[in-house]
A and B are shown apart, each in its own frame.
Chain A
Amino acid sequence: MTRFRFLLATCLLLSVSPAHADDTKDAKKEIAFGINVARRGLWHEARFRFERAAAKNPDSASAFNNLGVTLEQQGEFEKARAAYERALQLEPKNLSIQQNYDLFREADEKRNRKLKKDATPPKATPTPDPAAPIGPAVETVR
């Protein structure tokens, strides 16, 4: 039994490589720094930090969640969606990520509804005749 325990401990130690542990630690540092700058409104810097954190530790749900928030803030909605979905994949039971994702989807639906409403362009003639009366137009009823 003692020999088995010793073997198990050795395997565990070997599986956690020092390089991997360093990356995880670095990722956490990047995330902490990213949060610090995000709360000051420096979203470009925050994005850079969260991207680095996600690259260093691709299993970090918080890195992807925070990246989703910064991408959303910057108007890159498709990338934000992918980041939130990856975060949820990594931590499906995390309520904060779920809440962010739900709010994101709600806002995205609103945006898409608005865009859909406005999608029909006004009928324009290729060479406008200034003397001609104004043609039919888009009518968006709220």
Chain B
Amino acid sequence: MSSPVRFLGLAALIASGCASALEVPIETPLKSKLDVSKFRRVLVAGFVTDLVDDGIDLSPETSRLLQNQLRSASKLQVLEPDRPPLNQELAKAFKPSEDVRVTREDRDRYRAAGERILGDGAFWRKLGEEYQNPLIVTGKLAFEEQNRAGFQQESSLARDNRGRVREVRGNRYAERKAFTLSADFSFIDGSTGRLLHKERFSEEVVYGEEQKVSPLSSYFELMDRLLPNFLGVISPQKIRGTRVLIP
């Protein structure tokens, strides 16, 4: 047999072998971190935030978003209180000073009151009784805008006098801003008031000077990243990938 014929035969054989191997999508299961089989309901009870909001009413926005997500991603019945119970309790516990301006002391007192309620097992048990022993989701949230303006290294290609292309490096001042979202989620057993699981998530996004993004859009972008991890605590997740089946 001549060489070209042999080569063609070999190529056809390889091609047929490759063509018959089949790439299939797979989804591997990942168990939830928390066993929530004993619960039938879930209550998003609100969150402790900073006294001064950064353009977003963080606790009700987050509660609403989590309720929507839980409705589609979990089998638990999602309870919908008119106002987040934690924030109602916080409003009772914290009396702001007479001054119109919010002082640092006010913020510290507010945060301390929030911490106290978060750690108050009796409060959670009472709330649990009221809502028929649900799994309670609560915690602390912080959303901040930060100025990240500064000098950035950059390089570009330029021709010198002799027409040769050279890399030119330099520093350029760039206006940038970042938004960070930190969430400490607590999962509490409504029948005992006891903490079952606590987890902290933190996400950040940096925007260049040409990007005009509102805090609310940025908040949703960050929550979008954070949600799969939050949901992974109480509902099984799936890792997607592809594998090859060989005939």
Query: In this assembly, does B150 line the interface, its C-beta being within 8 Å of a C-beta of chain A?
Result: no
Closest Cβ of chain B to A94, distance in Å, is 8
A26 to chain B, nearest CB (A): 14
B28 touches A133 (CB 8 A): no
**Cross-chain contact A131 with B245 (CB below 8 angstroms):** no
Among B74-82, B188-196, B206-214, the stretch that binds chain A is B188-196
Q: For A77, list chain B residues within 8 Å (CB).
A: 28
**CA–CA, A118 and B233, complex, Å:** 10
Q: A122 contacts B195, CB within 8 Å?
A: yes
Cβ contact within 8 Å between A133 and B198: no
B241: min CB distance to chain A, Å: 6
- Docked-complex contact B24 and A141, CB < 8 angstroms: no
Taking CB as reference atom, which chain B residue is nearest A111?
Answer: B30
**Closest CB of chain A to B140's CB: distance in Å?**
12
**Who on chain B is nearest to A138 by CB?**
B198
Quick check: is A21 within 8 A (CB to CB) of the other chain?
A: no
Instruction: Please tell me if the beta carbons of A38 and B245 are within 8 angstroms of each other in the complex.
Output: yes
Please tell me if B227 contacts chain A, counting CB pairs below 8 Å.
no
Tell me if A72 counts as interface (CB < 8 A to partner B): yes
Q: Looking across the interface, which residue of chain B has its beta carbon closest to that of A80?
A: B28
Asked if residues B247 and A96 are in contact (CB atoms below 8 Å), the reply is: no
Whole-angstrom distance between the Cβ of B168 and the nearest chain A Cβ = 38
Q: Are B247 and A130 in contact (CB under 8 A)?
A: no
Q: Is the CB of A130 within 8 A of B193?
A: yes
Instruction: Kindly state whether residue A137 has any CB partner on chain B within 8 Å.
Output: yes
Cβ distance B182 to chain A, nearest Cβ, rounded Å: 10
Bound Cα distance from A97 to B196, whole angstroms: 42
Known contacts A62-B246, A128-B194; decide if A72 and B188 are in contact (CB<8 Å). no
Is B67 located at the chain interface by the 8 A CB criterion? no
A134 and B118 contact, Cβ closer than 8 Å, known pairs A38-B24, A38-B245, A73-B27: yes
Residues of A within 8 A of B193 (CB): 128, 130, 134
In angstroms, Cα B196 to Cα A132, docked, is 14
Q: Which residues 25-51 of A sit at the B interface, judged by CB distance below 8 A?
A: 28, 31-32, 34-35, 38-39
* Chain A 105-142 residues near chain B, CB threshold 8 A: 107, 110-111, 114, 118, 122, 124, 128-135, 137-142
Find out whether the CB atom of A114 lies under 8 angstroms from the CB atom of B30.
yes
B179 CB to nearest A CB, Å: 16
Is the CB–CB distance between B229 and A100 below 8 Å? no
Instruction: For the complex, give the distance between the alpha carbons of A24 and B195 in Å.
Output: 58
The distance from the CB of A84 to the nearest CB of chain B, in whole angstroms, is: 10
Closest to A69 in B: B243
A104 CA / B196 CA spacing, docked (Å): 32
A57 contacts the other chain (Cβ, under 8 Å)? no
Binding-face segment, B51-59, B83-91, B98-106, B120-128: B120-128
Report B33-70 CB contacts with A as 1/0, cut-off 8 Å: 10000000000000000000000000000000000000
Q: Which of B125, B197, B245 makes the CB contact (< 8 A) with A130?
A: B125
**Chain B residues whose CB sits within 8 angstroms of the CB of A110 once the complex forms:** 239
| Residues B245 and A66 in contact, CB atoms below 8 Å apart | yes
Asked whether B221 is an interface residue with its Cβ less than 8 Å from the other chain, the reply is: no
Q: Which of A35, A61, A138 contacts B245 (CB 8 A)?
A: A35
B119 at the interface (CB under 8 A from A): yes
Nearest opposing residue in chain A for B189, CB measure: A128
8 A-B pairs with C-beta separation under 8 A: A28-B247, A35-B245, A65-B245, A72-B28, A73-B26, A122-B195, A131-B121, A134-B124
> Which residues of B are in contact with A by a Cβ distance under 8 Å?
21-22, 24, 26-30, 33, 118-122, 124-125, 184, 186, 188, 192-203, 229, 239, 241-247
